[in-house]
Amino acid sequence: MAKQGYHGPLEQIDECCWRIPRSYKLGMRVEGRIFADERLLQQVRHDQAPEQVANVAFLPGIQMASLAMPDIHWGYGFCIGGVSATDPAEGGVISPGGVGYDINCGVRLVRTNLKYEDVGPRLESLMTALYRQIPAGVGTGGPYLFGGKELRQLLAEGTPYLAKRGLATEDDLEHTEAGGCLAGANPDCVSQRAMQRGGDQCGTLGSGNHFLEVQIVDEILDDSAARTIGLEKDQVCVMIHSGSRGLGYQVCDDALLALRKAPAKYGIDLPDRQLACAPVHSDEGQQYLAAMRCAANFAWANRQLLMWQTREIFAEFFGRSWESMQMGLVYDVAHNIAKIEEHTVEGRLKTVCVHRKGATRAFSAGHRELPSQYRSIGQPVIIPGDMGRASWVLVGQPGSMEKTFGTTCHGAGRVMSRTAAVQDAKGRRIDRELAEKGIIAKCRSWKGLAEEQPAAYKDVSLVVDVVHRAGLASKVARLRPMGVVKG
């Protein structure tokens, strides 16, 4: 399969949105809509991602449109940056491919009361301490072991279970999407293989694009929202990006196996096997939902334990308690997940199954699921960029509720394949190039750093600019990386 661009139709709806009409492919139940501007559009056409947006429009029960965010890129089955909502009452389906292998991959941001001058002079040794102590890399286990019964409790209860064990505070739970626990998680639906694969990995970073970054608030764009969130210029923060590790990958794999025959059984015609799905109300659909929720809970617990370790490392390094450094959680967001939510579709309130694959929930101000602290400004959205440029904090806007089932982008989006990035980095030392920009990067392998080099990604600021202009989420603060630990 050679890499090819997309040559199908993309009709401009407005300055930030483009349509793939239903007439493009026989079988599309709704149109496709891609959020992008003229600058990003060329990159959007660069691969087969728009074709995948059209394919997702085949799903039974799909509502409004098959959507894609401006960080869209070619995935497997569903594109990355894709959003689709199905109505179970209209035969709507759930598809593991619409969530992805890394169930509840997500990001959290931790604030501190440290300033650049507190950390800058000692950055190298701080990054070395984080690199040595945060478990990372392929298949690496961590210091937290959960035996059979404990693991089942963790899967059923998520982060609140860690609070019972003294590894999370009430404030942490309040500032995590869904409180760090999806109801309806049933460990009986998680295979032994999945438990074996991820049982010792809670509290580990993993590899690939996962990271822990020490960042500095570079610019505040919305003073009032930034004050409410507790961010100010020159403040040091920590951003953590990881997911459900081997447990989640295996849950997805198991589900795809279980659903292999489901499309034929339910008479669903699909253009790609990776879109395998079953009606939400079917046994197969319910089994997957129950298992996926376990993996999502595991992922929230994973990021919680990564944050907990970070707090302990900071406390030891600076010789003060983490509480005295005010290392509170700003927010934790999932960007690979399926959730049952209420949305107004064409004037009617409906209960739909929202698939977000490489897309972030961005509820607007006043939503009842938001913590009281943020209810007046909208949900904080954490958008990681590449390790050389910037990351962003946004807040959800009413446009997301109207146009995207309360969703916005999730990151920069790849523009270079991994092989191309490695080829591009031949003969270069990415860590030295970053060091020249004042960024300390710690990674176990040259190849890992080469694959994740800044040039492999779109400029996240261009992506964020589109969702801001489209009214999906608005800019609050830009952060720039000081130090990076890659998985």
Residues in touch with another protein (CB under 8 A): 1-3, 47, 49, 73-77, 80, 100-102, 137-139, 193, 196-197, 206-208, 246, 249-250, 252-253, 256-257, 260, 272-274, 276, 414-420, 423, 444-448, 487
Number of residues assigned to the chain:
487
Task: At 175, list the tokens.
Answer: 């500032």
d(CA 17, CA 70): 9
Closer to another protein by Cβ: residue 210 or 339: 210
Which positions ≥6 away from 261 have C-beta within 8 Å? none
Closer to another protein by Cβ: residue 380 or 413: 413
Smallest gap from Cβ 447 to another protein, in A, equals 5
Query: Tokens 């509480």 sit at which residue?
Result: 323
Smallest gap from Cβ 3 to another protein, in A, equals 5
Which positions ≥6 away from 188 have C-beta within 8 Å? 290
Residue 38 CA, chain-centre distance (Å), reads: 25
Which positions ≥6 away from 467 have C-beta within 8 Å? 35, 69, 70, 394, 408, 409, 473
Task: At 406, list the tokens.
Answer: 């309360």
Closer to another protein by Cβ: residue 318 or 446: 446
Smallest gap from Cβ 253 to another protein, in A, equals 5
- The packing angle between helices 123-133 and 283-318, to 10°, is 140
d(CA 422, CA 456): 9
Closer to another protein by Cβ: residue 150 or 272: 272
C-beta separation of 92 from 345 below 8 A: no
Which positions ≥6 away from 311 have C-beta within 8 Å? 110, 322, 327
Where are the extended beta strands (E) located within 384-455?
Answer: 391-396, 407-408, 440-442
C-beta separation of 59 from 90 below 8 A: no
Terminal-residue alpha carbon distance, the chain: 29
414: left (phi over 0), alpha (psi -120 to 50) or beta: beta
Closest CA relative to residue 214, chosen from 130, 324, 312, 304:
130
Catalytic residues: 410
- The packing angle between helices 148-157 and 283-318, to 10°, is 100
Smallest gap from Cβ 264 to another protein, in A, equals 13
Smallest gap from Cβ 146 to another protein, in A, equals 16
Closer to another protein by Cβ: residue 51 or 222: 51
Q: List the Cα angle 120/126/129 in 5-degree steps.
A: 170
Positive or negative, the CA dihedral 452, 453, 456, 462 is: positive
d(CA 354, CA 360): 11
C-beta separation of 237 from 109 below 8 A: yes
Closer to another protein by Cβ: residue 212 or 214: 212
Closer to another protein by Cβ: residue 256 or 370: 256
Closer to another protein by Cβ: residue 242 or 397: 242
Smallest gap from Cβ 160 to another protein, in A, equals 27
